[in-house]
Structure 1
Amino acid sequence: MPHSHPEDRLYTVISGVFYIGLGERFDAEKLMAYPPGAVVVLPGNTPHFHWAKSGEYVTQVTAMGPLGLHYLDARDDPRDADA
């Protein structure tokens, strides 16, 4: 579900196809496919979402901490069962 991170992130696709889209609402039409070897630069505080649309994928995520995760809709946050 749509979320953001306060830090800049660099995603390197190791295997599979990584699908990521930008925006505050999940929209499958906005997903971009990145094959193995692709590098995705995501500036901090950019609302986005990703999906294992074609099956399993592995990405390496590089960032400088402190790290954070903010779901745009608190009800989507699996860390808070009361949301």
Structure 2
Amino acid sequence: MTTAEAISRQEIREAVAAVLRLPADSIADDTNLVQLGLKSLHLMQLINGWRRAGRTVKLRDLAAVPTIEAWAAHLAGHAAAPH
């Protein structure tokens, strides 16, 4: 995995903020995103974007621990394959 393939916590935070229509700086790494209003439809929008980028991501994996911190760790293990 290279730096270009990795997704940063900030990129995840910005994507979440966009679907929730919140300022990115209002979302802490350990904030429960469901408590902020994240619904399954939002989660699928995020997952579809990450899948288009070549990541293997499943709803149940992200729904299990809905925080930026947990998602960053999970997505780091599912970086896009080099082209």
What TM-score comes out, normalization by structure 1 length?
0.25
TM-score by length of 2: 0.25
**Higher helix proportion, which one?**
2
